[in-house]
Amino acid sequence: MILSFRLLIISSMYPGYLRKFYAKYPEVSGMDYDGHYKALLSDSTEFAASYTRAFSRNGVAVDCMIVNDRKLQKKWAEAYQLRISDAEDMILKRIAHFRPDVLWIEDLRFLKPEFLKKIRKKVDFIKLVVGYHCAPINPQGLEKLKLLDLVITCTPGLKVDLEKAGIKSYLVYHGFDLDLLTEIDTLDSYPFNEVVFTGSLIHGGGYHNERIALLEDLLNRGINISLFVNTESNLRILVKKFLFYLNRLFKKAGIKNPEAIMSLLHYGNNPVNFYPEIIRKNIRGPRYGFEMYKLLNCSRIVLNNHGDVAGKYAGNMRLFEATGAGSCLLTDNKSNLKDLFDIGNEVVVYDTSEECAEKIKWLLDNDSERRRIAVSGQTRTLKSHSVDSRCKTIIEILKNELTVRGLN
């Protein structure tokens, strides 16, 4: 088996986090590229930063390109006195400069199928093109995924879907970044919350319809949940509504696959509604980075509900974020959850919204038991579900693939 390889990660970060980063650290504007890059990766808790740090600790020569951070990319081009025409040109120049053995694409939105084909045709030193995908798969995304050598995903259900489409895939669950613990402890005191839900509330097939219904029901039952969430604008919801009706119109006209005519019609496969009033009244807005982890740490209960795409399987980030931060996790019951945690001892589960409400009340009434579960859950995550352990698994997968393909 090969001993080492060079890895270039093509990724992005939440626009909301980037805005907060630049507002919090105005001094980065005066830094050179290297200083700016290190400051961003040190501050960020997102996937790209955590795994770049972990790959580096584990002996991999790694570079990470945050495609949607135009300020950082401009500095890179200036540092090497390069003229850049667009994002694709930037990616090609980053590839040519770093000369990776493995190209890791963590955000497929920035790469069109034609561009992926162009990379394969023009760049002969790349030995593996790997994707990371943990979201609903639309037809356009599937077209891109089929152009990769392999895909790493975070839930068994997505792995099954990928393999049904003829895509070689590996299951590697999310993990908790141990670097965060020290930072959480050093942050100033944070407002205390009894029950929180953090994440996204996105309408449409494969996303968060079940999650939205659960939160609405719990709030109507009088459960006080603080919602720190990303939501869609009314305009975006209106567009989805229009696409849904347009999709139906095409199908009534006898067109069996409207998406082949207009790819955006994928977003119109399912009916969508505006957010219920009771949810809108309880939204406090999203939290990012260390602030989000401090929020989890200062909450008695973190409520989790998987996106619809997960199906009967568990595996989203919140499982490990909440337990790793030291909160008591209450999550929807999934068939493989027992493989990750000792249910009832390390995490608490529910099958219905009624049971979820009952479990919340019980945990709040039995604080010593809630704290015991939180400690047990954190112990399990720190021992078994760290980003470093996941990273070692990925490194072995990539080394094995390179060896089997005779690409060492």
pLDDT tens for each residue of 20-42? 999 999 999 999 999 999 999 99
For range 55-72, the mean pLDDT: 95
For residue 362, give the DSSP letter: H
**Residues 50, 61: one domain?**
yes
| Per-residue pLDDT, 408 | 58
| Per-residue pLDDT, 404 | 87
| Per-residue pLDDT, 188 | 61
| Per-residue pLDDT, 64 | 97
**Residues 253, 161: one domain?**
no
CA 297 – CA 286 distance, rounded (Å): 16
**Residues 158, 29: one domain?**
yes
Kindly indicate the confidence band of residue 407, based on its pLDDT and cuts at 50, 70 and 90.
low
Domain containing residue 137: 6-175+387-403
For range 298-310, the mean pLDDT: 91
Q: Across-strand partners of 171?
A: 153
Q: What CATH number has the domain bearing residue 40?
A: 3.40.50.2000
Kindly indicate the confidence band of residue 285, based on its pLDDT and cuts at 50, 70 and 90.
confident
How big is the chain by its Cα radius of gyration, in Å?
22
| Per-residue pLDDT, 1 | 56
Please report whether residue 262 resides in a domain.
yes
CA 362 – CA 330 distance, rounded (Å): 11
Total structural domains within the chain: 2
For range 207-229, the mean pLDDT: 94
Kindly indicate the confidence band of residue 205, based on its pLDDT and cuts at 50, 70 and 90.
low
Note the maximum CA span of the chain: 63
Q: What is this structure's pTM?
A: 0.88
Q: Are 59 and 4 in contact (CB under 8 A)?
A: yes
Q: Are 87 and 12 in contact (CB under 8 A)?
A: no
| Per-residue pLDDT, 91 | 94
Q: Are 173 and 384 in contact (CB under 8 A)?
A: no
Please report whether residue 232 resides in a domain.
yes
Angle at 215 between CA 209 and CA 216, to 5 degrees: 90
For range 182-202, the mean pLDDT: 81
| Per-residue pLDDT, 305 | 96
User: Where is pLDDT greater, at 241 or 364?
Assistant: 364
Kindly indicate the confidence band of residue 256, based on its pLDDT and cuts at 50, 70 and 90.
confident
Please report whether residue 213 resides in a domain.
yes
| Per-residue pLDDT, 311 | 86
- Cβ burial 32-55 (10 Å sphere, 16+ → b, else e): ebeebbebbbebbbbbbbbbbbbb
Q: Are 54 and 60 in contact (CB under 8 A)?
A: no
**Residues 276, 347: one domain?**
yes
**Residues 166, 259: one domain?**
no
Sheet harboring 328-332: ordered strands across?
226-231, 193-201, 299-304, 328-332, 348-350
CA 389 – CA 393 distance, rounded (Å): 6
| Per-residue pLDDT, 249 | 84
Please report whether residue 1 resides in a domain.
no
**Residues 165, 195: one domain?**
no
Please report whether residue 218 resides in a domain.
yes
- Residues 345-376: tens digit of each pLDDT: 999 999 999 999 999 999 999 999 999 999 99
CA 57 – CA 78 distance, rounded (Å): 28
Kindly indicate the confidence band of residue 187, based on its pLDDT and cuts at 50, 70 and 90.
low
| Per-residue pLDDT, 273 | 87
Percent of the chain having pLDDT more than 90? Answer: 71
The letter for the amino acid at 19 is R
For range 275-279, the mean pLDDT: 95
**Residues 196, 338: one domain?**
yes
CA 321 – CA 327 distance, rounded (Å): 9
Helix, strand, coil shares of the chain, percent, nearest 5, are 55, 15, 30
Please report whether residue 273 resides in a domain.
yes
The neighbour count for residue 3, using CB atoms within 10 Å, is 7
| Res 155 pLDDT > 80 | yes
**Residues 128, 21: one domain?**
yes
| Per-residue pLDDT, 29 | 93
For range 306-313, the mean pLDDT: 86
**Residues 91, 195: one domain?**
no
For range 118-137, the mean pLDDT: 91
For range 270-277, the mean pLDDT: 88
**Residues 142, 238: one domain?**
no
Please report whether residue 408 resides in a domain.
no
| Per-residue pLDDT, 280 | 93
Kindly indicate the confidence band of residue 166, based on its pLDDT and cuts at 50, 70 and 90.
very high
For range 181-207, the mean pLDDT: 80
**Residues 96, 33: one domain?**
yes
| Res 185 pLDDT > 90 | no
Kindly indicate the confidence band of residue 49, based on its pLDDT and cuts at 50, 70 and 90.
very high
Please report whether residue 345 resides in a domain.
yes
**Residues 164, 32: one domain?**
yes
